[in-house]
Chain A
Amino acid sequence: MFFRRFAIFIYAVLILIPLIMVMLTSMKTREETFQNPLGLPEAGINFDNFISIFYEQTMAGYFVNSATVTLFSVTLTLFFASMIAYGITRLNNWKGNSLFGLFSLGMMVPPQVNMVPLYSLVLNLGLTNSLLGLILVNIASTLPVAVFILTGFMKTLPKELFEASTVDGADNWKMYAKVTLPLSLPSLSATAIFLFVMHWNDLLYPLLFITDNAYKTLPLALLDFQGQYSTNYPMLFTGVLIASAPMVIMYIFLQRYFVAGMTSGAVK
């Protein structure tokens, strides 16, 4: 019993200390970090670094880029994947199964393996330094997981449901949009959260395709700060806080869905 409490305490401290340190350091000056890395900020609670990072960087631009790429990638992945999942579920034969197998292939190949040919493809299509390029690549890379989760869910829906609606004269589109989608909401929302976290935090694709500051997303901009600010940790951590804020706020309010979403993504 004592061991258990002690172990939990240690783990909690291990998670919390680095996070508290990020918040404290973001309120310090660079000199302060060198003199007193562990202590409280001399100026108390302040947002000086936040103000200067918005002066020095086009933070708002990065933020808008990240939001645009994430929103379009999540919505379109969900839309296309749910259509495919519906198709596989309805076909329910060898054709459906082979299509399912074809998409599952995408889960076995990590994106890092594809980076070289993908880069030349995107370059040839003239889609480097473009948010559209990022969105298209994002959709293709997360489509397999989304198809996998959504098909798994739709296959548990009762078959009679589809049959009854067909008798009522509903065509495929109506049955997809009016019957299947509303019933799949729990699994759609879990998948959405999983995709949100993945796309918002993605570094690899922006790193490969974006060199122009006007199109950089937050993770890539953050990586650049490392070059500009080097050991200016207060500025780096201010950037970390800004980049993480949307996810953290969502996590606080939608915690239950996050846990469900992030683990349904893992169960692949």
Chain B
Amino acid sequence: MKISKTIYLFFIPGLILYSIFFLYPTFSAVFYSFTNWDGISANFNFVGFENYTKAVTGDSVFVKSVGNNLEFMLFVVIFQTIIALIFAIFLVKNTKVNYMLRALFFFPTILSSVSVAFIWTFVYDPSLGILNQILSLIGLDFLALNWLGNGDIAIYALAFTQVWFHAGQMLIIFVAGLHAIPFDLYEAAKIEGATKWQTFKKITWPLLAPSATIVIAYTTIQSFQAFDLVFAMTGGGPNNTTEILSTYIYEVAFRGYDFGYASAISVIFMCVIALITYLQFKVLRSNRVSY
């Protein structure tokens, strides 16, 4: 069937905005990454791969922020996925109470990251914070730490906040995935006398693989985007121990006025995300089964 040529008009408004405010900046990041532009003056020089070699060999803060970012990502992906999966299984039945609990666990997702950052800065406050208050109340004073001020644990305190923020959203995706598994598979397993663990291993987990792929891929991207939380809670400190790639880009560009170098880090950042996403899809795809 012939479609009128007017169909192409439908793309125009979106395509124009998308080209100006997304495609153009994305490609110009690659361009600027080969320059020494300061972001203000009209002149700049091409410096070849200098920015890239500087990042990889001469900048300990950059290396640190890649490490922090991966650490943060691993913590969030592992804990958030496990917590979301366990509670999705607990709350899978569509009862009234389960509806309410799911709605409650989902709730933090609708808050702004600045609000979540303030809430948890207060929870972690060394003297006023509810966490240390409770710890000393139950006699665990030695555990009452300066959560965000101690460079060894701050990144985990932030990662925990991220899990609190988004686990409910992943829980809902898992619940939807669980509801898509045909019920008669469980009946058959029951008749054949399978244990709970066997049922989980042979039916639930393999058939949940598509949802797990989504949850893990989305969590990974989200944990790379944790800019707002880190920016508002620690600003990358103390001593860059919570600096992640995005906060470091902001630091280099808007406090150090080194736009060329910040662009190079952006390009590396983009490649890291693309690589991780690709690997995850490959690994998780190979685990798929159907009955």
Contacts and interface: CB of A to CB of B under 8 A. Distances in A.
B36 interface: no
Contacts of A172: 3-4, 6-7, 9-10
Nearest to B109: A262
A201 B112 contact: yes
Interface residues of B, number: 86
Interface string A75-118: 00000110110110011000000010001001011111111111
B18 A106 contact: yes
A53 interface: no
A242 to B, nearest CB: 10
A67 interface: no
A34 B127 CA distance: 9
Contact of A33 (B18, B28, B128, B215): B128
Interface in A1-34: 4, 7-8, 11-12, 14-19, 21-22, 25, 33-34
Nearest to B119: A18
B34 interface: no
Contacts of A259: 102-103, 106, 172
A18 to B, nearest CB: 5
A233 B266 contact: no
Given A141-B22, A240-B119, A117 B32 contact: yes
A63 interface: no
User: Interface majority SS on A: helix, strand, loop or mixed?
Assistant: helix
Contacts of B118: 222, 226, 233, 236-237, 239-240
Contact of A11 (B32, B87, B130, B232): B87
Contact of A141 (B21, B32, B87, B273): B21
Please list the 9 inter-chain residue pairs (A to B) with the smallest Cβ-Cβ separation, ordered nearest first.
A140-B21, A201-B112, A112-B246, A80-B14, A117-B25, A87-B10, A83-B10, A240-B115, A37-B128
A21 B160 CA distance: 18
B191 interface: no
B79 to A, nearest CB: 13
Interface stretch (A40-48, A54-62, A183-191, A247-255): A247-255
